[in-house]
Amino acid sequence: MIRYFIAFCIYCCFLSVSHAQDTYKETFNLMGSRFDISVVANNQIEADSHIDTAVNEIRRIENLISSWMPTLLHQLYSDIWQE
């Protein structure tokens, strides 16, 4: 009986390892600050996709709150004022 239990435990260990995910990390300078983005994914392609999503969200927020970045409305008004 104990042999079956040990065999079952070993089987469970191998089963959990085969479905393991890895942590992927990248560092970016965005919004004048350092961002260390870490994601847990099954592979590098999936991780890159999630990291790109995070970077795009940071850039979107930066565009919303930045007072020095020109907006579309600012560009429209400057075109009108120059005419």
**Digit-coded pLDDT (tens) for 27-79:** 999 888 899 999 999 999 999 999 999 999 999 888 888 777 666 666 666 66
Q: Which of 62, 43, 39 is nearest to 52 (CA)?
A: 39
- Token output for 61: 């927020």
- pLDDT (tens digit, 9 = 90+) per residue, 39-53? 999 999 999 999 999
pLDDT of residue 66: 78
Helix or strand (DSSP H, E) at 28 = strand 22-30
Identify any residues that bridge with 38 across adjacent strands, giving them in sequence order.
25
The rounded distance, in Å, linking the Cα atoms of 43 and 76 is 44
pTM of the full structure: 0.61
For the chain, the domains span 21-74
